[in-house]
């Protein structure tokens, strides 16, 4: 999993909203085999530690969401005004 430095530019005030939207995208997907077992375990671990709305949690959720649907992931970021992050995701 590569590090996305653009996550550092996401306002902490948006972490909770972003994590909730990404979790919804991941859980509502019919393409649940797209996310690796390793990433799934990491998401469960972070959820148990109440860390999905942390930098590590956001990064992990973004990687999972990208694996499921890049366009929907970018749309969520654009809705929240996170253009820099959305561009980084598009250019992966």
DSSP string, 13-70: GGHHHHHHHHHHHHHH-S-GGGS-HHHHHHHHHHHHTT-TTSHHHHHHHHHHHHHH-H
Provide the pLDDT for residue 4: 74
Does 58 fall in a domain?
yes
Task: Specify if 74 maps to a domain.
Answer: yes
41-79: pLDDT as tens digits: 999 999 999 999 999 999 999 999 999 999 999 999 999
Q: Examine residue 2 and state whether it is found in any structural domain, yes or no.
A: no
Q: Which residues form the domain of 67?
A: 12-90
Report percent pLDDT > 90 for the chain: 80
Distance CA 87, CA 36 (A): 23
**Per the structure, how many domains does the chain have?**
1
Exposed, middle or buried, 73 (CB in 10 Å: 0-12/13-18/19+)? Answer: buried
């Amino acid at each position: 999993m590569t590090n996305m430095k653009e996550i550092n530019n996401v306002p902490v005030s948006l972490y909770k909203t972003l994590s909730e939207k990404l979790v919804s995208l991941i859980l509502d997907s019919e393409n649940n085999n797209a996310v690796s077992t390793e990433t799934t375990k990491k998401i469960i671990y972070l959820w148990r530690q109440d860390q999905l709305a942390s930098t590590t949690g956001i990064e992990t959720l973004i990687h999972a969401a990208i694996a499921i649907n890049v366009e929907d992931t970018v749309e969520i970021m654009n809705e929240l005004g996170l253009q820099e992050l959305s561009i980084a995701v598009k250019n992966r």
